[in-house]
Structure 1
Amino acid sequence: MSVVDSALARLPEVYRSLVVRHHEFLKFGTVGAITFVLDTGIFYLLKLSVLAAHPVTAKVLAVLCATALSYVLNREWSFRTRGGRRRPQEAALYFAVSAMGVALYSAPLWVSRYVLLLATPHTSRLVEEIADFTAGQVVGLLVGMAFRWWAFRRWVFPREAREQHRELQPSAPA
């Protein structure tokens, strides 16, 4: 019995069926949690040091680093039963969708800083930090995650591509 089977056996039936039915989303969320920690760490490391005057640039760089790790984890774990495209094509699609995600992740922070002026000298440093975290790490994350979940399943790792790929493979001799 695998570790996953053992863990599932311990869950009450109502939760077990939810976990089984939504396993891809739960894996995607786990990858998201891991990359959230990486993204947040890099964002604050850059924002509080070399890119203090450029928080949006710090956010974009942090998201790009997190996206690279996200591709590997999603390809090899979350969506490993999907896809079927050649890796270069799949990776290009993944990073194209992720580029759109970077814009969605960064937009709330840009609006907070440059439209709502929630930055010093217009507001206190504490308000600036709370606004940056809320806009960049909460709102941006939720908007970007929803878009990426939909787009990855639709374009990058579709079930149809895997099924079409299998149909094109010559059958093995019996």
Structure 2
Amino acid sequence: MFVVDSVLTHLPRSYRKVAIKHRELLKFGLVGATTFLIDTTVFYLLKWTVLAPKPVTAKVIAVLVATIVSYVLNREWSFRARGGRERHHEAALYFLVSGIAVALYAAPLWFSRYALHLQMPHTSRLVEEIADFTSGQVIGLLLGMAFRWWAFRRWVFPDGDKHVRNKGKQATTRPKRVVSR
């Protein structure tokens, strides 16, 4: 929290208002940047070593490792003001949404490799690496990130205050009994 506050104090006033308004999105983005580095590192370590012939498998494992780190960071930092679910229910939803996102992350890489054949021996090593990075680390990331942002806010970390307010409104806005005389 201190990091965010110190960054906010260095922003010009007009940007500071926007940053405060979208604080949750900015935190989600910072968690995403951190897990992007984890994902990229694990992906290339696996792809260039033990999983060289299986880049999609390497990508899935990398995304899974990054997802575990992402859950902890998002739960404890990005969406800590949200919730309202029991922790095990929340975690199950998080990993279900993230499982769908894994498919979104891996689909462009699969398409690049196996539908477009952007791999050796059909292309050069340089083209293969550029295609893998673009499809797996850029397009896949953007698809997965957009889906996860929407799904996390909608189902995993619902606005806790909203649920409390809605319950209060339901209690106060019940139809009144009309007693005829």
Q: What's the TM-score once normalised by structure 2's chain length?
A: 0.87
Question: Partners in 1 of 2:51 and 2:31 — Cα distance?
Answer: 26
- In structure 2, what is the equivalent of residue 131 of structure 1? 131
- In structure 1, what is the equivalent of residue 177 of structure 2? none
Count of residues in correspondence between the two structures:
167
Change (3 A) 1:50 1:162: farther
What SS does structure 2 have at the residue aligned with 1:91? helix
AA aligned to 1:100 is I
What SS does structure 1 have at the residue aligned with 2:73? helix
- In structure 1, what is the equivalent of residue 152 of structure 2? 152
1:8-87 equivalences under 5 Å are 8-87=8-87
Contact 2:81 2:160 in 1 (8 A): no
Contact 1:82 1:162 in 2 (8 A): no
CA deviation profile, 1:3-48 (whole Å, cap 9, x unmatched): 5444423321110011101000000000000000000000000000
AA aligned to 1:127 is V
Question: Partners in 2 of 1:5 and 1:141 — Cα distance?
Answer: 28
Contact 1:67 1:98 in 2 (8 A): yes
- In structure 2, what is the equivalent of residue 104 of structure 1? 104
Contact 1:83 1:162 in 2 (8 A): no
Q: What's the TM-score once normalised by structure 1's chain length?
A: 0.90
Contact 1:28 1:74 in 2 (8 A): yes
CA deviation profile, 1:126-173 (whole Å, cap 9, x unmatched): 1000000000000000010000000000000011577349969xxxxx
Contact 1:85 1:162 in 2 (8 A): no
AA aligned to 2:117 is L
Q: Which runs of 5+ in 1 are unaligned?
A: 169-174
Q: Which runs of 5+ in 2 are unaligned?
A: 169-181
Question: Partners in 1 of 2:46 and 2:141 — Cα distance?
Answer: 18
Question: Partners in 2 of 1:94 and 1:165 — Cα distance?
Answer: 24
Question: Partners in 1 of 2:32 and 2:165 — Cα distance?
Answer: 28
Question: Partners in 2 of 1:7 and 1:61 — Cα distance?
Answer: 33
What is the percentage of aligned positions where both structures have the same residue? 68
Change (3 A) 1:69 1:165: farther
For the pair shown, the structure with the greater C-alpha radius of gyration is: 2
AA aligned to 2:18 is L
Change (3 A) 1:93 1:161: farther
